[in-house]
Amino acid sequence: MRRVTERPRVKQRELTKPWCSSGLVCEWGCATIRGMRRITLASASFALPLLALIVTDACVGDTPATPTTLDSGNNADTAAPSDVSVPVDAADAATGQAIEISTGVNHACALTATGAVYCWGSDENGAAGVDPKTASTCMSNNTSFACVTTPTRVANLPPMVHLARGLGDQLSCAYSQTDLYCWGANNHGQLGHTPGLGDVAQCGPSKIPCSFTPTKVPLTGAITSASAGFQFACAIAGGAVSCWGTNGNNQLGSAGATSEGTVYPVPGVPNPATVSVGLVGTVACAISGSDAYCWGANNFAQLGHAANTGGDITCNSTPCSSGPVKVPVGTSVDGVETSGFVQCAHATSNKLVCWGYNQFGNLGLGYSTGAPLAPITSLDPAFSVFSTRGLNCANTPRPDAGTGIACWGPNVFAQVGDGTTGTKLADGGMGNCAGGGPCVAFPEILSGSGVKQVSASPEFVVILRGVQMFGWGRNDLGELGHAPLTSGDSTCNGSVPCALNATPITLPP
């Protein structure tokens, strides 16, 4: 879909996003993250059963060679919270029983209590589960794209138990206890079979192989985890990790995985618990016991050691691993997520440990100079890593002992959720952040109760409150489950449809 300018090796897409051309490919750390503001969601109160963090990738700059721990502690410079109203209309009007959500680059899906999957947003390559030829048409950057503007049930899909933990770039996956199904683009075999063989269509201007009909991925054994990313995907089946799709940087786990569309076992990850695939880079990670393992590209220390050290080899002129590498986190971990450029693990001691790209403070070391940042004490005492996508959001306690959601990062399309598209720095000042565009440089806390899950794309956010979904941010391709410039949409970054405030996303009866 929309193209993210490669910097240095960011994903190729079919259309340049305005926030990329303004220099904000994934520059979300934006300065010292110290202050915080509290946002009250009117007509809603949230109770978060767990703490979850969405951390995303920076783009250039310092690259720490070892993981860095964001520890708890006091921060004398933290700004006093202030209230900002973010209205939520019809907060309790739930017509669908959504129990799980997941977002891709510019589409999203929801799983219901009956095992049905509904998707919406970009459908150029069938990732929303609708034939692109019969889908609606949306305009993005003066170009028309197939889109699905209301949640639509994915046909020909048996009851599912979970969505993939993060959808991919024009790729969706869901699984039961025994079967994994994927649909969308298949130009690199990311559906688990050879491109063009068994695909039901050719999609987009480039006529790439695709399937809007779910395709069963050939896996053996009980499926316990799955994740989709940039032209590849991975799953845990039968107690072992397998990956398929493109393998330019050994992100499938070995140099021998040369046939696109073939499902390859990943060696060297005993008894894996969870797996995560990079949305904007070529890295995958998994938890094994109390350790984190990662494999793929290592040009920015994504594997937890400096480039061209630790047994690195070369893949297409890029430092990479020959297989999974145990990351020297320094403590026991029980969760890990990757964007492909920055990785974060959740330690059993309730610390967050991150490594990889560090231009804009995403590792807690500051940006450009590597000067240390004060801990984000407003997000203590614990994190559970949720997803590494294009925007930071976290389930977190509030200073008043309540619970809420905190978001920070690029704010070109109001994706931070504070009702603005402006910039806020840690000292409360205004002005563009390090990347040269609007961002919020510290957590904006949305207070309330009942939020079960939050999933963030680079430019929009979807949350699940009870069984009702809400979303905000960019909406030119129906990412928020309604047609652009309806349901109270505003315009951001010129004339791009967006929602400044949380807007209900309703499943059909």
Q: 3-class SS at 364?
A: coil
- pLDDT by residue for the chain (509 residues), tens only, comes to 443 333 333 233 332 232 222 222 222 222 222 222 233 333 333 333 333 333 333 333 344 455 544 332 222 222 222 222 233 333 333 345 899 999 998 999 999 999 999 999 999 999 999 999 999 999 999 999 999 999 999 999 999 999 998 898 899 999 999 999 999 999 999 999 999 988 888 998 889 999 999 999 999 999 999 999 999 999 999 999 999 999 999 999 988 999 999 999 999 999 999 999 988 789 999 999 999 999 999 998 889 888 999 999 999 999 999 999 999 888 898 888 887 777 878 778 777 777 877 554 455 444 443 333 233 344 454 344 454 555 667 665 555 545 557 676 678 898 878 788 876 654 444 444 455 556 565 555 555 556 778 888 878 999 888 888 999 999 999 999 999 999 999 999 889 999 998 899 999 98
Strand partners, 464: 453, 469
Which residue type, as a one-letter code, is found at position 231? Q
SS3 content of the chain, % helix, strand, coil (to 5): 0, 40, 60
Domain that holds residue 14: 2-505
DSSP 436: S
Run of H or E residues at 18:
helix 18-21
DSSP code string of 29-84 = --S-----EEEEEET-----SS--EE-----SS---SS-EEE-----TTPPPP-EE
Residue 404: the pLDDT is 59
| Whole-angstrom distance, CA of residue 483 vs CA of residue 136 | 9
Please give the tally of structural domains in the chain: 1
Structure tokens at 299: 């040009």
Tokens of 321: 């691993």
* Predicted local distance difference test score (pLDDT) of residue 415: 86
Distance between CA 491 and CA 246 in Å, rounded?
Answer: 36
* 170 CB-near residues (< 8 Å, 6+ apart): 1, 104, 105, 107, 122, 124, 125, 126, 127, 184, 185, 210
Omega before residue 438 within 30° of 0, cis = no
Query: How many residues comprise the chain?
Result: 509
**Pick from 474, 476, 467: nearest CA to 92:** 467
Structure tokens at 170: 């024009």
- Whole-angstrom distance, CA of residue 280 vs CA of residue 483: 27
Helix and strand element counts for the chain (H, E): 1, 38
Contact present, 167 and 228 (Cβ < 8 Å):
yes
- Give the per-residue pLDDT at 22: 27
> Tokens 């504070």 sit at which residue?
418
Cβ-contact 456, 54 below 8 angstroms: yes
Closest CA relative to residue 281, chosen from 39, 58, 46:
58
- Give the CA distances from residue 64 to residues 55, 67, 300, 439, 470, in Å, rounded to whole numbers and listed in that order: 17, 7, 8, 23, 36
Which CATH number characterizes residue 23's domain?
2.130.10.30
Cα 201 to Cα 155, 204, 408: the distances in Å are 16, 10, 39
Q: Would you state the pLDDT for residue 337?
A: 80
